[in-house]
Amino acid sequence: MQFQFGKITHPNMPTCLLLFLTYLSFFISIEASQESDRVLNLPGQPSTPPISHFSGYINVNQDHGRALFYWFFEAQSQPSKKPLLLWLNGGPGCSSIGYGAAVELGPLRVQRNGTGLAFNKYAWNKEANLLFLESPVGVGFSYTNTSSDLTHLNDSFVAEDAYNFLVNWLRRFPQYQSHDFYISGESYAGHYVPQLAELVYDRNKDEKNYPFINLKGFIVGNPETDDYHDSKGLVEYAWSHTVISDQLYERVNRVCDFKLLKWTDECDGAMSDVYQLYREIDIYNIYAPKCVIDGSDSSAGDRMDGSNPKVQKNSLRRMRIYGGYDPCYSKYAEEYFNRLDVQTSLHANVTGNINGKWEVCNNSILRTYDFTVFSVLPIYTKLIKGGLRIWVYSGDTDGRVPVIGSRYWIEALGLPLKTPWRSWYYNNQVGGRFVEHESLTFVTVRGAGHLVPLNKPSEAFLLINSFLWGQPVPTTHK
């Protein structure tokens, strides 16, 4: 008998035995591939509770040598019965490992000064098998061997790579192929998430050429969605929350037409003045303190540079560097993920493919990204008709993607009203407000900034639980 990995042949072997041995070989290969990605001895990981997790690389373009890095946590109980949930951070250029996994909704949170990890009792993998992806290529540990890839990044490029990642990841972990699948994310993932959902939705209709992925819906937090409404909401929020003067507010309204893809010089100047005032506070959580480490101010606003005027204009329009309840947490994440023992345990940077240090946000991507999509509202209209479950949530102290702008663009969809605007509750307190439209639920989170799972972890956990299991948020005191 001749034996090759994944292939067995023998001239006199019965067909049924041949098939059995071939399938057995296949499953042994799959198990070996998964186990090679299992995370063991992660520095600083608490010994209890036990956590089953995997990380590594998935090729998305063999010819270009392009691979995306992932970190996957099995559900803490009954993983075979729980849905699969993908999380994406935005930027563009910010890491879902450094934000979503390590400081927001993952089960292991980086501690102060990057010295270790603590268990997050509000981790979303209590309710789902939780998959984090560093996307696009060039973010975090994800890499390409073709440098020109980094000069062609746009929404379409990112969606195609994310789709290829998903298909190839499910080949490595085929036990999740039939699970209910949901996509989630925040900030500029307000583009990534619905665009990936649309790609999956469309290709599911062509099962001859594409594998079926059991997509059920998506949920996005403080999502950039429609440039006109988001920009309008940003300015109105700054004025209504006393960040800018009446005079500057009137000037912006006079010189800016946010329906234009490119702003005029007068509008750009006025908006620069708006952002300049936000440098004094944290635009991503306007009531939180700024990060001051060793006496140096490292707030979001102070990292909006650009020596090239065109780059500077793009950076100002596309500020993505986050802030939050502990505004120094990104520093701690960078200290932790740049440790060699951490990278070894996570099977990251195994061939030295990333240049320089691992960063929470890659500002070069922010500056070179080709922003070609003005609005993803047509995708919402399409996927709502397709019957997907869609939720949008918004921390109401975020100045960057404010609740005002989200309310504007949801209203612009013109959806039939299911239940009116009203309060929801957590621990006998108002957790926020919500409104239900046909096929879309909008929820606000009171006192949360741009990163809701960081600022309000218990409330965020309640939301994801309600979303995944198709339940309404609580409307009575408990």
| Positions marked catalytic | 187, 398, 450
* 444 backbone dihedrals φ, ψ, rounded to 5°: -100, 150
| Residue 239 CA: distances (Å) to CA of 143, 232, 249, 282 | 41, 11, 6, 15
> Locate tokens 């490119």: which residue?
262
* Structure tokens, 109: 């949170």
Rg value, the chain, Cα: 23
The first and second tokens of residue 381, run together, are 């209209």
Bond preceding residue 211 cis, omega within 30 of 0: no
3-class DSSP assignment, residue 146: coil
How many Cα atoms are found within 13 Å in the side-chain-facing hemisphere of 392? 30
Q: Which pair of structure tokens corresponds to residue 250?
A: 């009137």
- 3-state SS, 185-225, equals EECCHHHHHHHHHHHHHHHCCCCCCCCCCCEEEEEEECCCC
Q: How far is CA 367 from CA 48, 90, 107, 306, 320, in A?
A: 42, 14, 32, 8, 11
Which of 192, 183, 162, 170 is CA-nearest to residue 60?
162
Per the CB < 8 A criterion, the answer to whether 85 and 131 are in contact is yes
Total residue length of the chain: 478
| Structure tokens given for 27 | 């499953």
Give the residue ranges of DSSP H helices in 39-79: none
